[in-house]
Amino acid sequence: MSDTAKPSVRITYCTQCQWLLRAAWMAQELLSTFGADLAEVALQPGTGGIFEISCDGTLIWERKRDGGFPDAAKLKQLIRDAAFPERELGHADRKTDG
């Protein structure tokens, strides 16, 4: 598979809010799960309370719209749904009743 066929993820985070560590942790989680199946996970600094995650240019999470930050399992599901819909995520896919 060539790099152009692999999805790219961009995490735009607010430097004023000091969300770099949160963005870097999320990038690490994605790279640990999807590894070489991704072309890149890019961190883009921004301002004004921004925290957005996009996959191949499609916005999949926006802090203000979606109410805060996704946990790791939710983020992995969103990336999987956008880029690898046939893929199983194991325990991250298990739903709990309640």
Instruction: Please report whether residue 96 resides in a domain.
Output: no
Instruction: Please report whether residue 71 resides in a domain.
Output: yes
CATH of the domain at 82: 3.40.30.10
Instruction: Please report whether residue 12 resides in a domain.
Output: yes
As for how many domains the chain has, the answer is 1
Q: pLDDT of 19-60, one tens digit each? A: 999 999 999 999 999 999 999 999 999 999 999 999 999 999
CA angle 30, 31, 35 (to 5 degrees): 120
- What's the pLDDT score for residue 4? 58
Instruction: Please report whether residue 29 resides in a domain.
Output: yes
Distances (CA, A) of 18 to 21, 27, 49, 89: 7, 16, 10, 30
Confidence of residue 90 (pLDDT cuts 50, 70, 90): confident
How many C-beta neighbours within 10 Å does residue 37 have? 14
- What's the pLDDT score for residue 52? 98
Q: pLDDT of 60-87, one tens digit each? A: 999 999 999 999 999 999 999 999 999 8
